Amino acid sequence: MLNQALVGLGKKRSTIRELFEYGNARAKAVGRENVFDFSIGNPNVPAPEAVRETLLRLIQNTDPAVLHGYTSAQGAEAVREQTAQSLNRRFGTTYRADSLYMTVGAAAAISICFRALACAPEDEFVVFAPYFPEYAVFIEQGAGAKCVIVPPRSQDFQIDFEALGRMLNPHTKAVVINSPSNPAGTAYSAETLERLSALLREKSDAFGHTIYLISDEPYREIVYDGLELPCPARFYPSTLMCYSYSKSLSLPGERIGYVAVPDVPETADLYAAVCGAGRILGYVNAPSLFQYVTAECAGQTADLSVYAENRNLLYEGLTGMGYRCVKPQGAFYLFPQTLEPDDRAFCERAKKYDLLLVPGSDFGAPGHMRISYCVQTDKIRRALPLFQKLADEYLC
Ligand code: PLP
C-alpha cells in the first residue's frame, strides 16, 4: 500500500516540466534555435568568475576530507558566521551563526519553514496569487497544513490588504511573500512592508500568537531601474528569510541556500524547530563544497544586466503589439494577460509558433501567461515577430 497522494504527485509533472520535455522533443524536430522555450527559470548568464576562482582555490588548497566531508547538520559554523555577517553588513540585521540554517536551495528553505511552523492540519499559510506553484505542494503535502490563497490584484499584483485582512484568522501560522516575485516580477516597497507589518502585528495581538512572515527571496538581487529593495526582516522581526544562490550566482544545479531565523523572545525555540524540520525532512548538511564557495562569494552576483535588457525588449515589444502587462520591477519573468480568457487554450495555440509559455492558472491567476526571459537576448528578438503573429490571430 502506497501513499496515493504521493503517487499522484510523482506521476503528475508540472506544466513547466511538461513544456521542458516538449521543447526538447521539438528541438530534435526543428532545431534548438527554432524553439522559443520561455517556460523554465533556469538562469542563462554564467556564474561569476569569482565562483570558478574560489572553487579552484578551495580544491587546490583544502584537505579533501574537509572540503567534501560532512559539516554540522545546519551547515559549517564558519560558513554560517560569514553569511550572517555579510547579511548584517548589508541589511543592518543582527544574525549570528546560530541564526542560519544552510539548505539545498530555496525549495528546501521554504519547505523547512512550513514544516517547522505547522502543528495541526487546520494551520494555515497564506500566499498571494500569482504565486510559485510549489508553495501549495510544500504546505499541503509537505507540512500537512492548508494553503490559503489571496486572489490576484491584477492591476499591479501588489498586496490586496482588504482581502488579506479578511483571510487572517486564529489558524494563520504565517504569510508568505516573494519580492521580487515569480511570476509577476512585483517588488514590495518600504511602505508596503510597513503596512503589512502593522497588519500582522495587529492580528497577532488579536489572536494571541505570532503570525510569522516567510520571505522567499531568491530574486533579491535581480531588480531594475535602480530599485533599492527593502529587507522585510527589518520591518517585521518575526520574519524567516529564505534565500537561494540559484539565481543571483547562477548556481541552480548546485542546490545551495539558507534560512535566516530571527531572534524573537516570544519564540526562543524557533531555530530549534527549523533544525528539527531540517532533520525530519533529511535536509541536513547542504552541499559542503558550495557552502564554502558561497560563503566566500557572499555579496557578489553574476552579471545580471542582460535580464534588464531582456525585460525592456520584451515588455516594450509585447505592449506595443497590444498585450497588456504589469511592468516587472525584478526577477526574470513577464506575466501578461492572455489574449483570450482561457490561458491554457492560449498557451496551447502559442505552441503552433514554437512559443512555449506557461499558463497563469498554474500560478493561481487564470487569464495570464508567464514568460521566463532568462534566455539569450537574440532569442527574444527572434520571438517577437511570432508573438505578433499570435496576436494577429486575436486582434486583427
Ligand atoms: N521560490 C521561488 C519564488 C522560485 O522561483 C524558486 C525557483 O525558481 C524557488 C523558490 C526554488 O529555488 P531553488 O532552485 O533555489 O530551490
pLDDT tens for 253-312 read 999 999 999 988 777 899 999 999 999 999 999 999 999 999 999 889 999 999 999 999
Torsion of Cα atoms, 369 then 371 then 372 then 376, to 10°: 170
Pocket of ligand 1, candidates 114, 177, 216, 363: which has the most ligand atoms within 8 Å of its Cβ, to mutate?
216
What pLDDT was estimated at residue 298? 86
Beta strands in the chain (DSSP E): 36-37, 100-103, 124-128, 146-150, 172-177, 212-216, 239-244, 257-260, 333-334, 355-356, 358-359, 369-372
In this prediction, residue 383 carries a pLDDT of 98
Residue of 289, 287, 315 lying closest to 225 (CA atoms): 315
Ligand 1 near 216 CB (within 6 A): yes
What is the CA(187)–ligand 1 centre distance, in A?
16
Distance CA 24, CA 100 (A): 39
178 in contact with ligand 1, CB cutoff 6 A: yes
The DSSP element (H or E) to which 179 belongs, if any, is none
- Whole-number Å distance, alpha carbon 222 to ligand 1 midpoint, is 13
* Predicted local confidence at residue 373, as pLDDT: 97
Question: What does the alpha-carbon distance between residue 156 and residue 326 come to, in Å, rounded to a whole number?
Answer: 6
81 CB-contact burial (10 Å; exposed 0-12 / middle 13-18 / buried 19+): middle
Decide: 232 in ligand 1 pocket, CB within 6 A.
Answer: no
Ligand 1 and 248: CB distance under 6 A: no
Ligand 1 atom closest to the Cα of residue 107 is 16
Distance 337 CA to ligand 1 centre (A): 23
Q: Dump the DSSP string for 75-101.
A: --HHHHHHHHHHHHHHH-----GGGEE
**What pLDDT, on the 0 to 100 scale, is given for residue 92?**
96
Tens-binned pLDDT, residue by residue, of the chain (396 aa): 999 989 999 888 788 888 989 999 999 999 999 999 999 889 999 999 999 999 999 999 999 999 999 999 999 999 999 999 999 999 999 999 999 999 999 999 999 999 999 999 999 999 999 999 999 999 999 999 999 999 999 999 999 999 999 999 999 999 999 999 999 999 999 999 999 999 999 999 999 999 999 999 999 999 999 999 999 999 999 999 999 999 999 999 999 999 999 988 777 899 999 999 999 999 999 999 999 999 999 889 999 999 999 999 999 999 999 999 999 999 999 999 999 999 999 999 999 999 999 999 999 999 999 999 999 999 999 999 999 999 999 977
- State whether the beta carbon of 41 lies less than 6 angstroms from ligand 1: yes
Q: Is 382 helix (H, G, I), strand (E, B) or coil?
A: helix
Verify whether ligand 1 is closer than 6 Å to residue 182 (CB atom): yes
Ligand 1 in contact with 217 (CB < 6 A)? Answer: no
- pLDDT for the residue numbered 265: 77
Atom of ligand 1 nearest to the CA of 110: 10
How deeply is 371 buried, as exposed, middle or buried, from its count of CB atoms within 10 A (0-12, 13-18, 19+)?
buried
Cis peptide before 262 (omega within 30 of 0): no
Q: What local confidence, expressed as pLDDT, does residue 233 receive?
A: 97
Q: 36 pairs with which residues across the strands?
A: 355
Cα 167 to averaged position of ligand 1 atoms, centre (Å): 25
pLDDT 10s digits, 99-154: 999 999 999 999 999 999 999 999 999 999 999 999 999 999 999 999 999 999 99
Residue nearest to atom 8 of ligand 1 (CA): 41
Per-residue pLDDT at 68:
97
> For ligand 1, is residue 257 a contact (CB within 6 Å)?
yes
* d(CA 252, ligand 1 centre) in Å: 9
Q: Cα 18 vs. chain centroid, distance in angstroms?
A: 20
